[in-house]
Structure 1
Amino acid sequence: MDTGTTAFILSCIIGLTMMVPGLALFYGGMVSVKSSLNMMVMTFGAVAVVGILWVLFGYSMVFGDSYGGAGLLGNVTEYAGLGGVLTEKDTALPLALFAVFQALFAAITVAIISGAAADRMKFSSWMVFAAVWAVLVYFPVAHWVFAFDATDGSTVGGWIANKLKAVDYAGGTAVHINSGAAALAIAIVLGKRRTWGTAPRPHNLPLTLLGAGLLWAGWYAFNGGSALAAGHNASVVMLTTFVATCAAMLAWLGVEIVRDGHATTMGAASGAIAGLVAITPSCGAVSPMGAILVGVAGGIVCPLALGLKERFGYDDSLDVVGVHLVGGVVGTLMVGLIATADAPSGQAGLLHGGGLRLLGVQATAAGAVLAYSFVLTLVIALALKKTIGLRVDPDHEEGGLDSALPRERAYDLA
């Protein structure tokens, strides 16, 4: 066992766990004070339900031997219950550690979607949706992207990773495009908030900024930990992650100044997240200068994309589509343009002599995940709407979701 790498991934798991309260604070500060607790508990609830499903059969669906070698889904029973972690001790990285690391990827991906359902979705329906979506959408897509063929040929992995050979270092497709496309579908099925067009401003921007900072810190574990070893590759990835985030924040604030005449705290927080999203697939494929370009692209395109919801009339409450879907697509495609063979991923994009092949591969991966996630999420959401219902009662929506669940107040000012 490589104790150095084991210690590194242990630390990354702590960092990834920080992203749970980070996302809760980021979202919780952006909504009305009357719904902030409900918004935050949606994040924690998603993590809890996905964590249990991951142990029961989720890990197996993602990393089990692909049925028929097709690269579409892992063997559901191969690692069911994760009992093998008690006996598999002779690997460089303990199976138990890798399982927790990837479980947090799954949980955070599902939790991201909740931002599109803010202020109007029943908590009970959200929990059912989180469970069903993880099984039918995330686990298959994660198999496509994260499951690599075993070097000895004993296990066949996913088609995007092994047949298409797309570059997605830490989950631009499986995490961000996947959750962003799902957010678009759930927003369409839920319909607009009663306050659409006059929605209350974020009730606590300091909480949102704190959440963004925690997410930024945890993202080093998200991206750097994907190297699965403490060494050169992880170091390069953490550097590109930092640089892209800085560039995106400045670019987003620049867009605000040009468009609105002033920069905002919300823009700083959103710009940082946009940069983190965009660099996720490309963090191991670009140089530090390339990371600046990725960050600038995300920081310019994402704030402009926020206007799509007004133009097309879908209520993406907390801009999951504009940041995660659009940012994930930008970062994935940028690999095809500016990837360098000297980076850990080892492939060259168009501007480094690689031709158009990699750009086509990246576009295919992004399009496949986007289409699959959107269509399946639409089906899941419509089925739940017809059976258990999705939206809270109008009175609860008007008075704030915290009055229905958890029947508590975020702040006691008496």
Structure 2
Amino acid sequence: MTAALDNLKILDFSRVLAGPFATMLLADLGATVTKVERPGVGDDTRAWGPPHDADGVATYFDAVNRNKDSVVLDLGVPDDLARARALAAGADVVVENFRPGVMEGLGLSGPQLCAERPALIYCSITGFGSGDGAALPGYDLLIQALGGLMSITGAAGGEPQKVGVALVDVLAGLFAGVGILAALHHRERTGEGQLVEVNLLSSLLAALVNQGSAFTAGGVVPQRMGNAHPSIAPYELLATGDGELVLAVGNDRQFAALCHVVEDPELAADPRFATNADRVAHRAPLRAELEARLAHRSAPAWAAELTAARVPAGVVNDVGAAFALAASLGLDPIVELPREDGSPVAVTRNPIGLSATPPTYRTAPPRLPPA
């Protein structure tokens, strides 16, 4: 089967998460990705454990490095630098996430390489761009704080909270992947390569979506609301007789069905709750009314009945239960890839479905080659 990105060669200088995530997605779609690593230590995430897989490899590294080859180069050594330049000369795409200026000093920056090869696509991922923020360190936690995400995450009146995964890096990796694909499409039509620039702060601001437009278009600075939604109600966790129930009621039909299931259809006609705007304005009494009616059954029981009534509802799964749910729905969320010695490593399936050129799973995350 032909893959969507067959014959595409990517040279990947990036480390940690955003860049490796982007290149792994492209590798899943058929690109040949050569990962450049430092002698002896490789990618930083090789040491980011526990946990480790059955072969002692940090699972953080496993998460974003399948379908890649690895080459060890010390860019401070002339012979290795020359080899890096030779690899770049044969690549369609170069990806890097060094501090601005580092690659320029090595003669490997986007403008330098694109001047030699105008068809090259060169993607740089930074923390705060290449301008006034170039010297600032681009760590996900720092971006979550400075970019406003922590200010809207956590309980009302409580301390700011980070998201439980390095979400900004993942978002930046997705934006980088989209940018690279757009540049490839442009090159197909014109023969011209270009520079692709993505920074973590801008990626986060773009991903704030409605919370961002609340500020830009409405002049409202969003605040922490726990699990409640600023514009929809009920859209949160509610206490039941046993456990918490997740409700994501997005329209009046769903709310009427919810009221029917909790055996109080008249609640939907209460003028405080008749429309979504009314429910948002009276979210505290609405929560009290619903929790009083939910108190005599468990969260799983309510979730099953509400789901049958086409009301979005569920319970809070842990990660293991989330994978089990996906498996029960036929989504096959886990794939196993053999290492060089035949031992398997389990990784998460790429979520993109393509009827003609689906993602492929060819090789496990690579061992660090000897220097």
TM-score interval, smaller chain: under 0.3
Flag the structure with higher helix content: 1
Bigger radius of gyration, 1 or 2? 2
- Structure with bigger RCO (C-alpha 8 Å, 6+ apart): 1
Normalized per residue, the structure richer in strand is: 2
